[in-house]
Amino acid sequence: MIEANNPNLTSWIKVKADSDFPIQNLPFGIYREGSDSPKAATIIGDQVVNLDALQKLGFFSKMDLPSGIFAHTTLNGFIALGKPVTNAIRNRLSEIFRDGNAELRDNQEAKEAVLIDSDAVEMLMPVRVGDYTDFYSSEQHATNVGTMFRDPDNALLPNWKHIPVGYHGRASSIVVSGTDVTRPKGQTMEPEANKPSFGPTKRLDFELEMAFITGKVTELGDSISTDQADEYIFGFALFNDWSARDVQKWEYVPLGPFLAKNFASSVSPWIVTMEALEPFRTAGPVQDPEVLPYLKYSGDSHFDINLEVFIQPEGADETCVTRTNFKHMYWNVRQQLAHHTVNGCNINVGDMYASGTISGPTPDSYGSMLELAWKGTKPLLMPDGTERKFIHDGDRVSIRGYAERDSVRIGFGEVTNKIKPAK
């Protein structure tokens, strides 16, 4: 067991029982306090930890870190140091903040420089995303969509259980939680119309997803095997793949999503390391038919992560519209990365890969409004008495997620965005 994951560890920083950020988590992110420059941080409970201040105060003096590595505007430089370094930093943070260690706890001046209340900071994009890929890896989601739009008896296309389907998305429009999302415009074709129309989407949808971030570089022509994948995956975040369903329906044949997807995607600000999630590995669904050799894997390669989506109409209370779990995915992250690179596609530090919509086996565990309201035929009732077939202007959509085992809860915070009217 990784010592930083020890479920018996406690911190001298007070942590609520339902906090996403116990001492066993120690995720990484980028924050800004007031007009100060951005800094790298971790978080314990509701205390953001200024890693740059810790380095300047000498708490990492034995680790031979580059000067100012935590004063960058993204985590890319830190991640690029490699897992031997980033894991050592996480272990060192675990030492500094665990009960019984007085080196920072009893140094009031240092504590004031290092610890900040989480409500006093602005969280920023954690990484500079050079490339972004979105997968389509939930069998239930793919079956639901195929049932709605094609043949219910042949909902999955012939290739779906043989390859982790994906597409290359728009990296520049990925935004951090808290950023408003403007309703997109585009061409749509109404069912009874004889020509397309143009205007704001009438079917704005969320897609509940997880994302992983790579932390190593490969050369063009190299491939990553499923056995090697963990070496390349730095960590995970929550992800909302916003979709304009009416635009998507009109444009997706023959080449796939374009304007329906490129206007915005959003990500939670804290990256939870692969190592912090080790205790929550679990078996995935049986894959039948047997996959090709390069997609075979060994050991538990899925993760038991509870996921929820909330919708809050403007001026009203939020309501939970779905609860599901990341373990339901048919294709796991090892297979996704192996398939992504099997043709020699090179990857970089900070590249982001979204799981695809995560839908569970029951109607209350579907991962999109398209499914939950079943193309608008089963509207969801909100606390203010209004109905939702898709997302309205003024709605705030929040995705939250956590893993829990042995009385330890490892959470991701949330990714939350409010919808603004089209410009």
For 283, counting Cβ atoms within 10 Å of its Cβ (0-12 exposed, 13-18 middle, 19+ buried), the class is: exposed
Choice among 72, 141, 328, 340 that is catalytic: 141
Helix (H, G, I), strand (E, B) or coil at 31: strand
Q: Which pair of structure tokens corresponds to residue 132?
A: 């972004």
197 vs 193: CA distance, rounded Å: 9
Q: Which pair of structure tokens corresponds to residue 7?
A: 């479920």
- Concerning whether 72 is annotated as a catalytic residue, the answer is no
For 109, counting Cβ atoms within 10 Å of its Cβ (0-12 exposed, 13-18 middle, 19+ buried), the class is: exposed
37 vs 102: CA distance, rounded Å: 29
Contacts of 116 (CB under 8 A, 6+ apart): 31, 33, 47, 48, 50
CA dist 166 → 227, 333, 353, 355, 362 (Å): 21, 12, 10, 9, 24
189 vs 250: CA distance, rounded Å: 6
Of 276, 228, 238, 237, the C-alpha closest to 86 is: 276
202 vs 51: CA distance, rounded Å: 44
DSSP 142-166: HHHHHHHHS-GGG-S-TTTTTS--E
Residues with catalytic roles:
141
